[in-house]
Amino acid sequence: MWFALALTTQAAMMSCLFFSWQSPDHRKPGFRGAALFALVASLFCWQSLAGWELGLSYFFIAASLMAWVLILNRATRTKPARSKPKTTQALSINTRKLAMFFVRLVFYVLFIGGICAYASIAISYDLPLGEPERMAVATFLFPSLWAGFIIYSFTAERLWRLFALLIFLALYAWLRLA
């Protein structure tokens, strides 16, 4: 019974989100409120069915798949657009770009990755936690920091800020771990 209820409330949540997306602005809050209510009901049902850990997993998987019923249902099929010809340069490759690509890669992997690995260990051991929690924090902090810095290296408006942050982290890790 919980399974049927969970699926029904989740379908209701997705439908409300869809109608909110489709409807004019003045109707959106109503649908969003209903979606929120259905979300809470759905989470409660999934939790009752399988506990929090499995219930949350089911909730996200079901949401990912249910959305496609709505997407495919309203998919528009239009005529092919006009095409523009492309120049063909078969078997040619820009070696300078390729070299720069690998220089960047080494920078990201060795330099940023190295600093983040040491820094995440240093940060996790500064937290008032037990050994298993420190390792769990370090395990998820390391890739998050690393990914964050790679993105920041592209999005930073001033490049020196990136280096300042990296130097700060490196110094902190060095002082803490030395």
Partner 1 sequence: MPEHKNSDRPLSQRSLDAHSWIGLFAATFLYLLCFSGVLTVIGQEMERWEQPGIDEFNDYSPTFIDQAYRRFVETHTEDTEHIHIVFPRDAIPRIVVENDHQAFFVNHDGSLGAKEHAPWIKMVIDLHKHLHLPSTIGTLLTGLIAALLLALIVSGVLAHKTMVKEAFRLRLGRSKLTQSIDLHNRLSVWGLPFHIMIALTSCYFGLVGLLLTLAAGFFHGGDQRHMIEQVFGSEPELFKQAPLVDVKASIENLRSLKPDAKPIFMTIHEAGSENQFVEFYLMKDQRLIYSENFRFDAAGNFIGQTDPDQLPIGSQVLLSTYRLHFGDFAGFTLKLLYVLLGSALTYIAISGVNIWLNKRRKEDLINILWGGFVWALPAAFALSFLLSQILNVNPYWSFWSALLTASLAGVAWKTHNSPYEFSTVLKIMTTMFCFAAALSYAIKYSEHSIRGDFWSMITVLMIGALISFIAYTKHVPRQQSSTEVSAEP
Interaction with partner 1 in 11-70: which residues (CB under 8 A)? 17-18, 21-22, 50-51, 53-54, 57-58, 60-61, 63-65, 67-68, 70
Reduced to 3 states, what is the DSSP secondary structure of residue 93?
Answer: coil
- Least Å distance, CB 36 to partner 1, is 15
**Within 96-115, which residues bind partner 1 (CB under 8 A)?**
101, 103-105, 107, 109, 113
Q: Are 146 and 113 in contact (CB under 8 A)?
A: yes
Residue whose tokens read 């990136």:
162
d(CA 9, CA 47): 13
Buried b (16+ CB within 10 A) or exposed e, 92-103: eeeeeeeeeeee
d(CA 63, CA 13): 9
Site string for partner 1, 126-165 (x = CB under 8 A): ---xxxxxxxxxxxx-xxx-xxx-xx-xxxxxxx------
- Least Å distance, CB 56 to partner 1, is 9
| Stretch touching partner 1 by CB under 8 A, among 4-12, 30-38, 76-84, 164-172 | 76-84
- Least Å distance, CB 38 to partner 1, is 17
